Amino acid sequence: MTAAHVRWPWCDLSGIWDTVRAHALRWDAQKRGFRSNRYWNATPSFIGLLGETVYGRYMGLPVDYALRLEGAPGADFPGAEVKTAGGRHWRNPHLLHPPTGPWLAPRFVLAAIDERLREGALVGWVAAAELRAAPCRNWGYGPQHSVHHARLRPFPLPFLSRHCACGQRRTWSWLTGAWSGHACANTSHGQEALSR
């Protein structure tokens, strides 16, 4: 297990790996030859769809695998655009986005995919305004705004929800940076989330 496996919330993707690959192959076959598509590897949609799957699992949201000729109608998820590092880049990833956009969400999330272990992780997130202000680097695919993973805001562990000491369920909202779901005398919810 690497240091990255310890510091990021990982999930097993082996049970849906082939299903996501099949969706990605359909997407790639439809878009082959489109001038707007960038072919950085043999299956450009696969790693991205895996990243969206990881985010969807952690947030409890469905992933949109629908095939659309006109492309996705907006951001990957309400309030979030997911970028994914795979291949040899997942161990020391940067969140990348082209200066020309599109800027569809107020927050950008970085996921990492370990293809050997068939696992995915949420690395962190950054506000769109901060990503826009980040320096551009050319990683071989043209200039990209680039934010190193160490500069991203982390996702709390465990991420989605847990029970309070009072017995009620509470949920972490990364949009507000606070626990929600009920009110009680326990004032350490936020500090506890960030300390784990």
pLDDT at 129: 95
Q: What is the mean pLDDT of the chain?
A: 77
pLDDT at 59: 83
pLDDT digits (tens, 9 = 90+) for 146-177: 999 999 998 765 444 555 566 666 665 544 44
What confidence tier does 1 reach under pLDDT thresholds 50, 70, 90?
A: very low
Distance of CA 137 to the CA centre of its chain: 21
Q: Region 112-127: what's the mean pLDDT?
A: 92
Mind giving me the DSSP string for 142-154?
Answer: SEEEEEEGGGSBP
Q: How far apart are CA 139 and CA 142, in angstroms?
A: 7
pLDDT digits (tens, 9 = 90+) for 26-65: 888 876 665 555 555 667 789 999 999 999 888 888 888 8
Domain parsing of the chain, residue ranges = 3-151, 161-195
pTM for the complete prediction?
0.74
Other Cβ atoms less than 10 A from the Cβ of 143: the count is 14
Q: How far apart are CA 192 and CA 186, in angstroms?
A: 10
pLDDT digits (tens, 9 = 90+) for 84-104: 998 888 889 999 999 998 899
Q: How far apart are CA 172 and CA 160, in angstroms?
A: 6
Other Cβ atoms less than 10 A from the Cβ of 74: the count is 12
Residue 181 vs residues 50, 95, 127, 185: alpha-carbon distances, Å: 29, 31, 24, 13
Q: How far apart are CA 36 and CA 95, in angstroms?
A: 20
Query: Position 73: which residue type?
Result: P
